[in-house]
Amino acid sequence: MAIENLERIVEDRESIVRKQFERALLSERLETAEESMVATSRAYLITRNGEYLERLAGAERDFSRSLGDLRARWSTPLARASLTRVSDLAKAYNAAQRQLVAEIPTNADFAEVGRRFEQEVVPKRRKLDDAIEAFSQIGDAELKTALDLSKATASKAALTSLAALLVAFIACCVLAWVLFRHLTTVYQRESAAVQAARRALLARDEILAVVAHDLRSPLNAIMLAGSLLQNGDDAGKKHGDRIVRVAARMADIIKSLLDAASIDAGRFSVTTEPVDVREIVREVTDAIDPLASSKSVHFEASVEAADIRVSADRGRIVQVLMNLVGNAVKFSFEGGAVRLSTKADGDFICFAVADTGPGLAPDHLPHVFDRFWKADAGMERGTGLGLYIAKGIVEAHGGTIQVESRFGEGAKFSFTLRRD
């Protein structure tokens, strides 16, 4: 009788744990469906390919189906309340992204699409992510409770059987060992499935890189056509100049998108060599002086000591400084000042760009290096990727980048590179 009771207890707890693992798997499928909705909606906004709308509808159906399955398998009040919140936030997110799809014109540029997506859709997605994460935590807590209860019950039954019969105790140990092995196998199998699903979700970022790459060929053709027009009469030259300028701007945006995608995927790399700091500063100065003069901004550059070299990818570091100094000049008031300086700090060289512009609000500072972030959401120019890419470049060199600012008193961006 003792052995039969023990077997029944173990079977009951094994059933509970199995159900909890099934629920955990459904939770991961819900997250996968949500990530699929995000990826396909972004792909449609970028490409305007109707096929992605069909995929979006399919992802929404998968999400609703997974949500329904979870409701059918979860009966605790806390879990049901959490699922209701997930459902409400999912409806709000889907409504926001479909409204954006309906309102954004087909000829909208990437910056406008990214800005509106970050403002109107991303906050709702974050709330949905938080709700799903909260639900997952509830599931994890209930799973842990079930496992603890199973272990406690099995231990109690084993002790009772030991007092009644030594054979029952041995049988209990055997059954406990079998149960542990079984649960370990199930857990490892489900964990492997979850990891595979998460790796698949990383492919969503590849969509952006593929689209940007495919735009290069037609853009090169446009630039070639503009160059041919520049060789014509005055009217043709005027139109050709405009076409080349716009195409060059588009090429910069595409390059930024590809750089951002490489950084996101962890594939961004640089090729370093010994570079004289003075040459880097001189190249930036030659490029910035005309811009600063046109805005009546005083620009000053200084190098602390001669013959200082850093191990760096020269083109990429010039790109970082052009972004920092260009932003400083752009946001400085007429008659303001921008200063680029370098300073040796042990084995590192610190580059600093300070301005007398309006500065940054305290709540903006944590987001300065975020992707698609802009201090002025109403700005039309720029993709909001410059500082994000600058941070990726500096970190690829093994350095760090930071910002200091007080609202109304200007800002100072600085980063470090290792000396050669």
pLDDT confidence of residue 204? 47
- Higher local confidence (pLDDT), 63 or 376: 63
- Higher local confidence (pLDDT), 212 or 278: 278
Average pLDDT over residues 73-77: 75
Average pLDDT over residues 201-213: 57
Res 26 pLDDT > 50: yes
pLDDT confidence of residue 225? 64
Encode pLDDT of 256-275 as tens digits: 777 777 787 778 888 899 99
Res 324 pLDDT > 60: yes
Average pLDDT over residues 403-414: 90
Res 39 pLDDT > 70: yes
- Higher local confidence (pLDDT), 294 or 381: 294
Report the percent of the chain where pLDDT is more than 70.
73
Res 322 pLDDT > 70: yes
Quote the tokens at residue 32: 């996968």
Question: Of the candidates 111, 96, 104, which has an alpha carbon nearest to the alpha carbon of residue 373?
Answer: 111
Res 362 pLDDT > 70: yes
Res 19 pLDDT > 70: no
pLDDT band for 411, please (50, 70, 90 cuts). very high
Are 308 and 342 in contact by the 8 Å Cβ rule? The answer is yes
Are 6 and 175 in contact by the 8 Å Cβ rule? The answer is yes
Res 88 pLDDT > 90: no
Quote the mean pLDDT of the chain.
78
Q: How far apart are the first and last CA of the chain?
A: 79
- Higher local confidence (pLDDT), 177 or 18: 177
Res 231 pLDDT > 50: yes
Secondary structure of residue 378 in the 3-state scheme = coil
**Size of the chain, expressed as the number of residues it contains:** 420
Encode pLDDT of 103-151 as tens digits: 777 666 667 777 777 787 778 778 878 887 887 777 777 767 766 776 7
Res 201 pLDDT > 50: no
- Higher local confidence (pLDDT), 150 or 368: 368
* Residue type present at position 250: M
Res 354 pLDDT > 50: yes
pLDDT confidence of residue 210? 62
pLDDT confidence of residue 277? 93
Distance CA 274, CA 362 (A): 38
How crowded is residue 56: how many other Cβ atoms within 10 Å of its Cβ?
A: 23
Res 319 pLDDT > 60: yes
Average pLDDT over residues 168-174: 84
Of the given ranges (22-36, 261-275, 405-419), which has the lowest mean pLDDT?
A: 22-36
pLDDT band for 207, please (50, 70, 90 cuts). low
Torsion (CA) 82, 87, 91, 93 in degrees, nearest 10: 50
pLDDT band for 345, please (50, 70, 90 cuts). confident
Average pLDDT over residues 243-255: 71
Q: Hey, which of 114-118, 244-248, 284-288, 363-367 has the most confident mean pLDDT?
A: 284-288
Res 167 pLDDT > 90: no
Average pLDDT over residues 72-94: 79
Are 73 and 83 in contact by the 8 Å Cβ rule? The answer is no
* Residue type present at position 178: V
Helix pair angle (234-265, 204-230), 10° resolution: 160
Query: Is the pTM value of this prediction over 0.95?
Result: no
